Amino acid sequence: MSNTAKQERAWLVLADGTVFEGRPFGARGVTTGEAVFTTAMTGYQEVLTDPSYYGQIVTMTAPQIGNTGVNAEDTEAVGDAPRVAGFVVRDASPIASSYRSTETLDAYLARYGVVGISDVDTRKLTRHLRDKGSQNAAIGTESPDALLRRAREAPDMNGLDLVRFVSPKEPYPWTEGRGEWAAAAPRPPEHHVVVLDYGIKRNILRCLVDSGARVTVVPASATASDVLALRPDGVFLSNGPGDPAAVRYAVDCIAGLLGKKPIFGICLGHQLLALALGASTFKLKFGHRGANQPVKDLATGRIEITTQNHGFCVDLSTLPAGARSTHVHLNDGTSEGLAMDSLAAFSVQYHPEAAAGPHDALYMFDRFTQAMRAGARKTAG
C-alpha cells in the first residue's frame, strides 16, 4: 500500500448505520453489497474468486491478508477476475513473499476494479455481523452519510437471482484435473457428466475429471431436455450465489431430471435439489463461511472438517417423504446433506473439493461415480 493510501481515509458503512473507518485498499471508488465474514485463516484468493461470493462484501477474520500475493493457479472462478463486490481486511500486507506469487493483492484488486478497505477493526465488525446478522453495506471514500444512503438503497439478498451474472452463456467442455495437487492418481474417463453451472468453482470441475468423468458444462438456463439431449450418465448441480428460491428456472430443470439420471449437488446445488423435491429454504442470520466448519455424517457418525460458503439453508422440516437428511452442521444442527435414494439424487451443502480436512469429504465424488455405475448396470439390464 502506498504512502498516499495510508494517508487517505475510507469507510465501511452498514445499513443499520454502523460506521467503520479504515484506509483505501485495491481499487478506488464505491461499492455496495451484503456484508459477510469468513473464518478461513488462509485461501483469500480462493475467497475472492469464488462465484458464490458474487454481490457480497467479504470480511476476512484472519488479521493479516496478502502476504503470499496472488497467482494464476489458485483462481476458483472459470476466468481470472475476482467475484466479490468488496473486500475488508485488518492488515493488508504490502509484501508478497511466496515463490508462486505473480502480483501483490493490492495491485490485483486495483487491476480488476475491486474496492477494498484495510485497517478496519475486523474483530468488532465480525462480532457485529454475528450478533445483528449479515446486512447490506457500502465501502468508499465518500462521506459516511452518502455511503449509508447507498447501503440502504442496495437490493436485498432475499429474492435475488445472482446466478444469471455468473453462469456461462454457452456450453463448454472441461478436461483439466488437479495435477500435482491431486490426492490420488486420476481415473481414466468412465462416465459423461453434464454440469449445470450456477457459478461453479474450478476445483469442483477438476475433482470430477479426476474421478473419471468426461465433463460438459452447460449454462444455468439449460432445460431438462437440453441436458438429456447430451446423453449424460450423471448430472452435477454446482455451487453459486444468491437466493435459491429466486432461481425457478433451475428448479424446474432439476425437477425434470429427477429419476432419469443420477444427480449430485454441492452448495447452491444442494438447495436447488431440495426445492425441486418440494422442500423449502430460508436465510441464515449470518451464514456459514470458512474452512473450519464441523459436519457430522449421520450414517457413519464421522465428523468432517469442511469448507463452506452459504447464506441460505434447506429447511429440514419440509423434506418430503422418501428424502432423508444425511449430514448436519454441528454448530447449529442445520442441513448439510440430503439424499433421495429412489431417485438416485443426493447433495451436500459444504464443499468436498476444497480440502479443508484436507480430504475428509472427497468420498462424495466416489459416491457419485458409484451411482452412475449403478445406473449404467440398470440400463444395461
Residue 357's pLDDT band (cuts 50, 70, 90): confident
For position 5, what pLDDT does the model report? Answer: 52
Q: How far is 253 from 231, CA to CA, in rounded Å?
A: 15
Nearest to 210 by CA among 190, 240, 196: 190
Compute the distance between CA of residue 12 and CA of residue 172 in angstroms, rounded to an integer.
Answer: 39
Residue 358: pLDDT over 80: no
| CATH topology (fold) of 3-153 | Glucose Oxidase; domain 1 (3.50.30)
What are the residue ranges spanned by the domains of the chain?
A: 3-153, 163-380
pLDDT tens-digit readout, 41-57:
999 999 999 999 999 99
CB atoms within 10 A of CB 133: 14
Q: What average pLDDT is seen over the chain?
A: 95
Range 163-380 has CATH code 3.90.180.10: no
Residue 289 pLDDT: 97
* Interval 220-230 mean pLDDT: 98
Q: State the DSSP string of 312-381.
A: EEE-GGGPPTT-EEEEEETTT--EEEEEEGGGTEEEESSBGGG-SSSSTTTHHHHHHHHHHHHHHHHHH-
pLDDT band at 368 (very low <50, low <70, confident <90, very high): very high
pLDDT band at 254; cut points 50, 70, 90: very high
Measure the CA–CA gap between 264 and 195, rounded to whole angstroms: 10
Predicted confidence at residue 381, as pLDDT, reads 64
Predicted confidence band of residue 325 (pLDDT cuts 50, 70, 90): very high
What is the reported pLDDT for 376?
Answer: 84
Active site residues: 267, 351, 353
pLDDT grade, residue 1 (50/70/90)?
low
Question: What length is written for the chain?
Answer: 381
pLDDT band at 361 (very low <50, low <70, confident <90, very high): confident
pLDDT value of position 238 = 98
Give the three cell numbers for residue 248.
425457478
* Mean pLDDT computed over 231-252: 98
Band of residue 180 on the pLDDT scale cut at 50, 70, 90: confident
pLDDT band (50, 70, 90) for residue 184: confident
Q: What is the per-residue pLDDT across 60-96, written as a single tens digit (0 to 9) for each?
A: 999 999 999 999 899 999 988 999 999 999 999 999 9
Task: Identify the bridge partners of residue 34 per DSSP, sorted by sequence position.
Answer: 56, 136
Count the helices and strands in the chain (H runs, E runs).
11, 19
Q: Is pLDDT above 70 for 219?
A: yes
Q: What is the pLDDT of residues 105-163, one digit of tens each?
A: 999 999 999 999 999 999 999 999 999 999 999 999 999 999 999 999 999 999 999 99
